[in-house]
Structure 1
């Protein structure tokens, strides 16, 4: 593993790819207790409702994050700009709006569209993740921002949902239509994540820029892990402790 703080030369594309992957490894949201409980089928539909209400406020503005990066991406980086634009299109108008699919799942869990879109129903940690995404998109070098949001965050999605989606069908009995949000992102985010990698590999060509990309990729993975872990502590653990108290 090449650590960002220890870069003493420009990495070639293969080395940089390995270093980016290593920056995420061990920090995937799959490691959170909420994700593990979901994959094991031990969450309730109420817990999944709280996830959907929070997740909306993280992924709902994703096209906005990308738009901020797009506006600051150097004009000559045509393919990178095209990718960002296509990603925004897919999120918002390229078929079903992704947030509408998320709300469909949320309603199947037992919550309502009104609760999902109400920002009062997101936890402080979710608010922090959303704010971090906006800050990265608006302030960081555009290539660094792609590393943080697309590589550090979006590229994780297929591995997370591949573990959770079968449980939604087999354990909870959701229909294909109700879990379309997950099926769609297993495919689309694998493509998006790979394009994010390619943009970083092509345009991060200095020690300083590579180091920043590696660091923000690591931080992005940590942010998603923290957000997902907080869902467990905010919604699952208190109920479990209350149930134990009632049993006593």
Structure 2
């Protein structure tokens, strides 16, 4: 049997996946941060990314259901509350709706999913089903894109403030909130993956799961980049 990687080696391999394949490198994201997207392109991204955002608490509920330990469930349920909110008018989904409104998209257009492209639907469905069908290790490892999210959020806030002043600054609340939440969630998930993946086979599965999640995010942007203008 092949010996497992040390915790340090395993962590480096996981971080290498994000460094090489995270969607911050996608041409659409690069153009977004350079400030070269048109209003129509940015609205198309906001509308389609919302389809992913609204499914985050769904996939987290599927992951939570795999945990036998009540303490793990208590910790993970916070992620659902972060997006759904603890009351109406609160949470990450609400903040994304406000981003859409700040960009000139009616929230009804986001909620009815009429703007969602087929490729985006398939990418999101694939990720949700991955979390539904795969073991807890794989599903949690897929969430490790959160390790790269804080830096992306900081870059995005700066880009929106400098290049897209037509979007009211209050609409950027989702990005600001996710800087702290993403850092916390990424470290929490990394700790679980390091604890659970004790064999080389389990470690390689975790690396592959993170690669799959990077592919989901990349494919979503491919669809948005090539899709029709949402108006």
Contact kept in structure 1, 2:81 and 2:91, CA below 8 Å: no
Count, aligned residues: 227
- Counterpart of 2:182 in structure 1 is 189
Contact kept in structure 2, 1:46 and 1:110, CA below 8 Å: no
- Counterpart of 2:172 in structure 1 is 179
The 1-side partners of 2:74 and 2:11 are apart by 22
The 2-side partners of 1:36 and 1:235 are apart by 19
Unaligned runs of 5+ in 2: none
The 1-side partners of 2:26 and 2:216 are apart by 12
Render the CA deviation track for 1:68-111: whole Å, top value 9, x for unaligned. Answer: 11111233xx5533331111122212472211111111111111
C-alpha distance 48-58 of structure 1, shift in aligned 2 (>3 A): same
Higher radius of gyration, 1 or 2: 1
Q: TM-score, normalised by structure 1?
A: 0.85
Q: TM-score, normalised by structure 2?
A: 0.90
The match for 1:47 among 20, 37, 41 is 41
The 2-side partners of 1:9 and 1:82 are apart by 34
- Counterpart of 1:154 in structure 2 is 146
Contact kept in structure 1, 2:147 and 2:183, CA below 8 Å: yes
Render the CA deviation track for 1:206-246: whole Å, top value 9, x for unaligned. Answer: 2222111111111111221221233122247xx9xxxxxxx
Comparing 61-70 with 160-169, greater Cα deviation is found at 160-169
Unaligned runs of 5+ in 1: 1-6, 240-248
CA RMSD of superposed structures (Å): 2.0
The match for 2:225 among 220, 232, 236 is 232
SS, match of residue 68 in structure 2: coil
* 1:165 and 2:157 are equivalent in the alignment: yes
Contact kept in structure 1, 2:124 and 2:216, CA below 8 Å: no
SS, match of residue 227 in structure 2: helix
